[in-house]
Structure 1
Amino acid sequence: MFLTTARALLAISTLVCALTSMADGRLPISFVLDWKLQGVHSWYYLAEDRGYFDRENIELNIDQGDGSAATVTKIMAGTYQAGFGDVNAIIQNAARRPESTPVMVYMVYNRAPFAIMTLADGPIHRLEDLQGARLGSPAGGAAMRMFDTLARLNNLDADSVEWVNMAPNLQEQMLLRGEVDASAVFSVTSYVNLLAQGKDPEQDVRWFHYADHGVALYGNGVMVSPELIEQHPQAVHGLVRAINHGIRDAIADPDAAIEALAKREPLINKALEKQRLLYTLKTVMLTPEVSDNGLGQTDPERLARSIEQVADVFELPARPSASRVFTDEFLPPRAQRQAGQ
């Protein structure tokens, strides 16, 4: 009964907020993150605190998530209108249900943060040393699924690898205990998990980033429903402008971004979340491609390759077009998307 009452009160509160927003001319947009609050979400709250969404007449209601692929299915179900999630999940769903699959409108992670991590003092020094090794991964983990592509591009025998299934929160521990030779991970998560366990991810661990070895995949970004694009295209422009402004501000002042995050979740470890933010900027966001094309953009040829790689691994019934997966229609001018300017 308590849960039922709580849900009812939450629904009433959400309705009241939506009606208030519409009354003062702001469009309410429901937005879901890919996970619990972390440093990589700080720019949304920094943008909110600095009034960037208000300036665009948007009332952005942000909820925590439970997976970057789940963002796509939640938008498809109509629970949310927009969110932060994985473009590769868009590719998979667009191959089967293109009419309801969201579209990426701002690419945040220019490189998918998939990596193989192994101990720096262990026997694996090169990719070739992974042959015959025991690799850890959660069952169905994206980095594990994409390992065949990594292997094919680098002439490795993928069948020689023995996979050990484990809970996501045990990947670092089992590697450190020597229970696996390496793990297929989401680097921006494992990096901070290692820090939390008193390890130096730069010195104690050797990283093989998929993006450095031929895997063309992009990662997480801002996606919106087809309905939001059709019914409120100017709001999508405004949403992207505000988020882009927040990201640029977070790059310029990471401490301010983390403080904005901490206002929503006071229990976060601010030092670790700042490390996560800085590591993400360095490894998956501020790439040479972003330097050339600006934040939020993709390279059409690379995006086409990434669609082929995902389609091959997941045996998709069709190859969705690049324009069905991502559009730059709503991006601000390039001059406004240059980091540090």
Structure 2
Amino acid sequence: MVQNLHGRERIGTLVWGQFVKRLFVRILVGLAAIAVAAAANAEPAKIRFILDWKAQGPGAWFYVARDKGYFQAEGLDVLIDQGDGSAAAVSKIMTGTYDAGFGDINAVIQNAALHPGEQPLMVYMLYNRAPYALIVKADGPIKTLKDVEGHVLAAPAGSATERMFKPLALKNGVDASTVKVLNAAPNLIEQLLVTGQADVIAQFAPTSYMNFLAMKKSPEKDFRWFFYSENGLDLYSNGILVSQKLLKENPEAVRHLVAALNRAILDVAANPDLGITTLMNVEPLTNFDLEKQRLIYTIDQQLRTEEVAKLGLGDLDDNRLQAAIKTVADAYGLSRQPSMDEVFSRAFLPPKADRMMSPGH
């Protein structure tokens, strides 16, 4: 009788243990379901994003990320505004007007030295080869870089190309103080050169190249080009920037932002028509063929480099960046040279395999 009681107690204990275990599993499943539902219904992280320029071909990937749902898939709600200069984009992020944007790493270097702790951080390098160029009339008086002394240079206010003219001049023995800078609206820069109101313009090469075509001019025959990269300045240029505030308060949002844009950039690089078709939803008056040419020119000249083939999009070479920091610091007489981690971080990049470009478009 006693043995039976003990046996029943053991059976009862086993049954109770199984019941508790099943109950525990059900609770865990329920909690997981609640967590999944909560995540699905969570408010997306809002990010205000400033472009470097107007809605043109080379900005198509930003709109693809938005309109194709890449941002949404990453739990983001991104507001995109058009910009008025690569260096200006840096300033607007610093003021807190925007959380992130597309701007010039050399302006980041300057601000890291002058306003440490306030500068945006570049988390994805896109323009591996800087598109900076000085452009003059082929039949004009300027035959060499030295010849720009004493002449009028036109550029948009906030232009990274104008800002980096001083380092270019220093590298080539040009007295930049003798050059009068004329700031004008972006859509007037090429006209100022053609009409003779400026002797030289400082512009992104893809911008002027296509604008000359639209003006029925021959970019190669009618103009002489001085590319900074061919005249002693091996610089990086534009990439994805994020504010110090966003970095501190929501680093996961930064990671998701980079992932969404990396996906869109690769899609557009492989299929430029996708980019321009999306762009036309933003700017219905877009000239499809012209902007497609501008986009392909940018992809081929700024993105397809030996370094990108080795490292993948988004990353950069530390030695080359260190040299660029020194170049900018020397040219502007900065009180100190910022460290690389004040300027760029690869911590938010997707795996290298996810950042490799296809062979062609």
Larger radius of gyration: 2
TM-score range, shorter chain: 0.7 to 0.9
1:205 correspondence with 2:189: no
Q: Residue 78 of structure 2 aligns with which residue? A: 60
Q: Residue 161 of structure 2 aligns with which residue? A: 143
Q: Residue 12 of structure 1 aligns with which residue? A: none
Q: Residue 14 of structure 2 aligns with which residue? A: none
The 5 A counterparts of 1:68-107 are 68-107=86-125
The 5 A counterparts of 1:250-261 are 250-261=268-279
Q: Residue 16 of structure 1 aligns with which residue? A: none
1:134 correspondence with 2:151: yes
The 5 A counterparts of 1:163-174 are 163=180, 165=182, 167-168=184-185, 169-174=187-192
Q: Residue 333 of structure 1 aligns with which residue? A: 351
How far 1:70 moved relative to its partner? 2.5
Q: Residue 194 of structure 1 aligns with which residue? A: 212
Amino acid at match of 1:137: A
User: What whole-Å deviation, never above 9, does each CA across 1:242-293 have from its counterpart, x for those lacking one?
Assistant: 1011001111111111111111221222222212211211222222221221
Residues in 1 aligned to 2:92 and 2:202: alpha-carbon distance in whole angstroms: 26
The 5 A counterparts of 1:304-323 are 304-323=322-341
Q: Residues 157 and 34 of structure 1: is their aligned pair in 2 closer, same or farther, counting only changes over 3 Å?
A: closer
How far 1:240 moved relative to its partner? 0.7
Which one is further off, 164-173 or 244-253?
A: 164-173
Provide the secondary structure at the position in 2 that maps to 1:83: strand
How far 1:181 moved relative to its partner? 4.5
Kept in 2, the 8 Å contact 1:31–1:82? The answer is yes
Q: Residue 61 of structure 2 aligns with which residue? A: 43
Q: Residues 216 and 259 of structure 1: is their aligned pair in 2 closer, same or farther, counting only changes over 3 Å?
A: same
TM-score (norm 1): 0.84
Residues in 2 aligned to 1:306 and 1:317: alpha-carbon distance in whole angstroms: 16
Residues in 1 aligned to 2:162 and 2:43: alpha-carbon distance in whole angstroms: 47
Amino acid at match of 2:161: A
Q: Residue 8 of structure 1 aligns with which residue? A: none
How far 1:147 moved relative to its partner? 3.1
Q: Residue 7 of structure 1 aligns with which residue? A: none
Amino acid at match of 2:184: A
Residues in 2 aligned to 1:245 and 1:49: alpha-carbon distance in whole angstroms: 13
Residues in 2 aligned to 1:159 and 1:214: alpha-carbon distance in whole angstroms: 16
Size of the alignment, in residue pairs?
319
Residues in 2 aligned to 1:237 and 1:83: alpha-carbon distance in whole angstroms: 14
User: What whole-Å deviation, never above 9, does each CA across 1:89-132 have from its counterpart, x for those lacking one?
Assistant: 2112111222222100001111222112123345655546x365
1:282 correspondence with 2:300: yes
Kept in 1, the 8 Å contact 2:88–2:158? The answer is no
Kept in 1, the 8 Å contact 2:121–2:243? The answer is yes
Amino acid at match of 2:124: Y
Percentage identity across paired residues of the two chains: 49
Q: Residues 178 and 36 of structure 1: is their aligned pair in 2 closer, same or farther, counting only changes over 3 Å?
A: closer
Residues in 2 aligned to 1:178 and 1:157: alpha-carbon distance in whole angstroms: 22
Which one is further off, 215-224 or 72-81?
A: 72-81
Structure 2: 5+ residue runs without aligned partners?
1-38
Amino acid at match of 1:80: Y
1:158 correspondence with 2:175: yes
Provide the secondary structure at the position in 2 that maps to 1:319: coil
Q: Residues 98 and 28 of structure 1: is their aligned pair in 2 closer, same or farther, counting only changes over 3 Å?
A: same
Structure 1: 5+ residue runs without aligned partners?
1-20
Q: Residue 8 of structure 2 aligns with which residue? A: none
Q: Residues 150 and 46 of structure 1: is their aligned pair in 2 closer, same or farther, counting only changes over 3 Å?
A: same
How far 1:228 moved relative to its partner? 1.9
Provide the secondary structure at the position in 2 that maps to 1:203: coil
Kept in 2, the 8 Å contact 1:94–1:320? The answer is yes
Which one is further off, 173-182 or 205-214?
A: 173-182
Which one is further off, 66-75 or 158-167?
A: 158-167
Q: Residues 186 and 241 of structure 1: is their aligned pair in 2 closer, same or farther, counting only changes over 3 Å?
A: same
How far 1:146 moved relative to its partner? 2.9
How far 1:25 moved relative to its partner? 4.2
TM-score (norm 2): 0.80
Residues in 1 aligned to 2:96 and 2:348: alpha-carbon distance in whole angstroms: 21
